[in-house]
Amino acid sequence: MNKIILVIFFLSFKILSHAQSYNSNQSVEEFAEGRWYYNSETKSKVKYGYISPLNTYGLTLKTSKGNTGYFMNCSINFSSDKQYMELTGCMNPETGGGVGRVGFYKDRIIFSGDDGKLTYYLED
């Protein structure tokens, strides 16, 4: 009986925490900040938020080998309902290179450039 109660409690907690994490009133920027998104093809991760080594906001990319790169000084445009955000002009402070256009949804990030698109999904 205790195991059944424990399982019900655990499942209820998971459902409530998942529902809360997708609060529709929360802007995509508020939701995405600090969360990792993962690309299974490249095995790399990306996160939007504060970059402490650079003392600014932007993108942090981690490769499958653990290398880290940063992109900052992004211009941000929002949809009218703030459920979509687009970053442009993000630059790497070391190389001066950019990442093209980056579209943010709550469940995925899409990098679009001259060489195609790369999609990262919310890492749960």
Count CB neighbours of 92 within 10 A.
Answer: 16
Looking at the DSSP bridge assignments, the partners of residue 49 are: 58
CB of 124 closer than 8 Å to CB of 45: no
Written as tens digits, the pLDDT of the chain (124 aa) is: 555 443 344 444 444 444 445 566 899 999 999 999 999 999 999 999 999 989 999 999 999 999 999 999 999 999 999 999 999 999 999 999 888 899 999 999 999 987 889 999 999 7
Q: Which residues contact 101 (CB under 8 A, 6 or more apart)?
A: 86, 87, 88, 111, 112, 113
Q: Give pLDDT, residue 105.
A: 96
Domain spans of the chain, in order of start: 26-122
- Tell me the pTM: 0.77
Count CB neighbours of 38 within 10 A.
Answer: 16
